[in-house]
Amino acid sequence: MVNTPQQNGVVERMNCTLLERACCMLSNAGLGKEFWAEAISTGCYLVNRSPNTSIECKTPEEVWSGKSADYKNLRVFGCAAYVHVNEGKLEARAKKGVFVGYPMNVKGYKVCCPASSKFLISRDVTFDESAMLKSKDVMLKPTIMENEKIDKKVEFEVSV
């Protein structure tokens, strides 16, 4: 029913799960809130490829398609990505960007290219999963002047 979330417990829990995953991915990658849709979409992609006890430890992808999940294409959200392009003999062979997910109904990767402020979708991508780009490098619209400096310190305390 509309406006009765208490009657949709399973759906509401999944919404919370996706939101928590998106917050973690954005925080880890150092990306801003403008990438929330890509983070939620990537979280959903990962949930559909994760084993679930309610379906006998199979993945939803496996139950739906009948094929086991393929984990070879999983990459670290927010890592540096180089999309290979061919724009001429004397032009650069790759564009640097940040990996922001998996496009729907397309075999490939979605990469945000800050130089052109566009999203590129390509199968021909090289990833540097050990390096994360700084959030100021991948903002689609600059909101901070270059001469300003913002220092943030985040601490987490875990009690055992």
**Can you give the pLDDT of all 160 residues of the chain as single tens digits?**
677 767 778 888 889 999 999 999 999 999 999 999 999 999 999 998 889 888 888 888 889 888 888 889 999 999 999 999 888 888 888 999 999 999 998 889 999 998 888 899 999 999 998 877 654 455 444 333 344 444 444 454 544 4
3-state secondary structure of 121: strand
CA–chain centroid gap for 14, Å, is 17
The structure tokens listed for 65 are 């398609």
149 assigned to some structural domain: no
142 assigned to some structural domain: no
Closest CA to 79 of 139, 130, 137, 20: 130
Q: Judge whether 135 and 78 are in contact, CB under 8 Å.
A: no
Closest CA to 49 of 41, 40, 57, 59: 59
151 assigned to some structural domain: no
157 assigned to some structural domain: no
What's the number of domains the chain is made of? Answer: 1
128 assigned to some structural domain: yes
Q: Judge whether 123 and 19 are in contact, CB under 8 Å.
A: no
3-state secondary structure of 126: strand
